Structure 1
């Protein structure tokens, strides 16, 4: 199916689907084989080569969603990120990474790059000029993440992409928090897009996967690295992911709506000190987010007042799950210092503004009134009582 000018829901549902020629079923058939014929065939198929029937079909859908020529599916978000970065970096090269990035990506840089002879710098902020200040003569990649995990900072995608092109550097973005429903970075000139497909693409907290999407030329390079690293995905999970993508646009738009309402509620709550959500007009990146996003996303972060013990607050939640990961249809909360950014040092977390009291909130699709009620009862149960004299 030609994906040009197709609507988002149509693309999610139909692009890349496999025809069931045997029984005319409504969904793509699942091909579980790990061994295929090698002679007298057009394609020599092997799972690690990303070219089984289900893998090929899903890659077409992913490319269509990200407005790229090609894409590859990996076994996890970090498999996608590490494969993509190691494709375009080698000994003697330098990469500039945004200061506010996912903790796993940060850990990859600080724990692995040096032993491969790769230099790296973190920006002091998330503005275009912060990237430019860190560029060196051997810089090969500019890496950004917007909205960022967990503080929802907003970076000028086109600005960084233009800077990279001017300097002859490759630009790469983690688009996980936005999803292609809310943001398609290649429309602004980004070269390579990476995702943890575990999140909004999977959307049901039961799939672990990653995506890299780019031009055919760049994806040919990623493919050569990928077949060596071996981070391919089982066809059963590929099939489940294709099933999940059919409802991604509907799910994400519902989560966008819930997150906006929740951010406004938390902002007005006297027991909450700070709320981080780009949909709020007082968010420093609001105008920029509005110019490059179609929706503000289903993620937000907030800080309770100091007298409220966040660890006790988690224990009192009855509907919202204190759970790792994000973007499922069920609402979840976590402490970044204990989970997503636990591998960072306290000093480096402080540089990003990640406090121990910070709570990351992934909005699901429940009724907003039920979520608000759960938060209010949890706060009431842990809030110190005021004793009148």
Structure 2
């Protein structure tokens, strides 16, 4: 459990000093000597997620999240998938927030459906409507702390309360906020998921995922993760552990710069609208202010009619058009053609994800340089 300040825990929690080394070494060994393990999952083997590199990361992440235990996986989608496989069975029903990340939507409408798990999408901002969607077979409610790419903040407190009232598992994808801005376990969520590829690693050089929760839940998920084999390799563990140490520094800078960029874009004559929870006109601004320590480095906007968003993206100097997010460099993408390309066009239109929408992941560049870059591109 977290006992000290965030930056202190980021540097020191879970660290193992082998032979006096200040930095955790990479244990580039798949197999280990047998030491009378009592069951299969205790055998020391890289795929079973129990090398020193895994153990150190699990402790650091659990400390940051304030959870009893944690796991790392090979990707964010691996974290989501194995959690679903471990916690749901055929005939179960799940309530999932409308407007989720495209990969999660695809998982829900294809893989889960094929396995006999029913999903109903709910308005995360309308908890009064959730009861009508609940069924006797409902087992889980699934939300995102900040939705991708609409940058909405669902009624997360209501989500926890609804789950407790109806004995549901409350699950949240906290990728966009990160534990530097929001710790869902403290609010009462049962299971927290991350694509650690993004903010937790922060350098666009590792694909990884995170699962945090109670020991009971993690012990239920671990055997499924071991069977599926979505294991994070030791070198990736090392890079993620290194990246985590600067999470607090990076997030504070990204929060600050994103706020400045969002404010600038919201007043630009060639911008139709901006979605950023730090802006007072965001519909969930008050909720985000109450829940979060910062509003994240994520925003989305849509240029006014007549401006080609594809050409706009390519004309930017510092903001690079590429998928993913949360790195030290500013990345932009058009969700209709990347993260949400697998979502049917009619569904994207219903949600408000237009072909012209641009999602921005703000990096750690100087704010004035990013603002001037967007200003020049919009005016070109």
TM bracket, shorter-chain basis? over 0.9
Contact 1:327 1:364 in 2 (8 A): yes
Contact 1:131 1:142 in 2 (8 A): no
> Quick one: distance in 2 between partners of 1:39 and 1:110?
44
Partner of 1:218: 217
Distance 1:39 1:125, change over 3 A: closer
CA deviations on 1:118-141 (whole Å, 9 max, x unpaired) are 111111453322433311110001
Partner of 1:266: 265
**Please, which of 19, 25, 28 is the counterpart of residue 24 of structure 2?**
28
Partner of 1:332: 331
> Quick one: distance in 1 between partners of 2:114 and 2:24?
43
Q: Secondary structure at the match of 1:374?
A: helix
Q: Secondary structure at the match of 2:217?
A: helix
| Counterpart check, 1:243 vs 2:242 | yes
> Quick one: distance in 1 between partners of 2:246 and 2:123?
38
> Quick one: distance in 2 between partners of 1:171 and 1:125?
13
> Quick one: distance in 1 between partners of 2:127 and 2:192?
18
Q: Secondary structure at the match of 1:337?
A: helix
Moved more, 119-128 or 351-360: 119-128
> Quick one: distance in 2 between partners of 1:146 and 1:31?
34
Partner of 1:387: none
> Quick one: distance in 1 between partners of 2:63 and 2:264?
36
> Quick one: distance in 1 between partners of 2:125 and 2:339?
19
> Quick one: distance in 2 between partners of 1:224 and 1:39?
19
Listed as ranges, the gaps of 5+ residues in structure 2 are none
CA deviations on 1:127-168 (whole Å, 9 max, x unpaired) are 322433311110001000121000111112221011101101
Q: Secondary structure at the match of 1:96?
A: strand
What TM-score, normalized to structure 2? 0.97
Moved more, 336-345 or 370-379: 370-379
Q: Secondary structure at the match of 2:335?
A: coil
> Quick one: distance in 2 between partners of 1:214 and 1:75?
18
Superposed CA RMSD in Å reads: 1.2
Q: Secondary structure at the match of 2:281?
A: coil
Q: Per-residue deviation at 1:26?
A: 1.6
CA deviations on 1:290-337 (whole Å, 9 max, x unpaired) are 111111111000000111111111121111101110011000110000
Contact 2:124 2:155 in 1 (8 A): no
Distance 1:39 1:20, change over 3 A: closer
Contact 1:98 1:131 in 2 (8 A): no
Contact 1:76 1:198 in 2 (8 A): yes
* Dislocated runs of 4+, deviation >6 Å: none
> Quick one: distance in 2 between partners of 1:99 and 1:61?
32
Contact 2:124 2:143 in 1 (8 A): no
Partner of 2:117: 118
Within a 5 Å distance, the mapping from 1:38-49 to structure 2 comes to: 38-39=34-35, 44-49=43-48
Partner of 2:372: 373
Partner of 1:163: 162
Within a 5 Å distance, the mapping from 1:97-246 to structure 2 comes to: 97-246=96-245
Distance 1:125 1:155, change over 3 A: closer
> Quick one: distance in 2 between partners of 1:130 and 1:72?
34
What TM-score, normalized to structure 1? 0.95
Aligned residue pair count = 377
CA deviations on 1:193-247 (whole Å, 9 max, x unpaired) are 0000000001011010000100001111011211111111100000110000000
Partner of 1:385: none
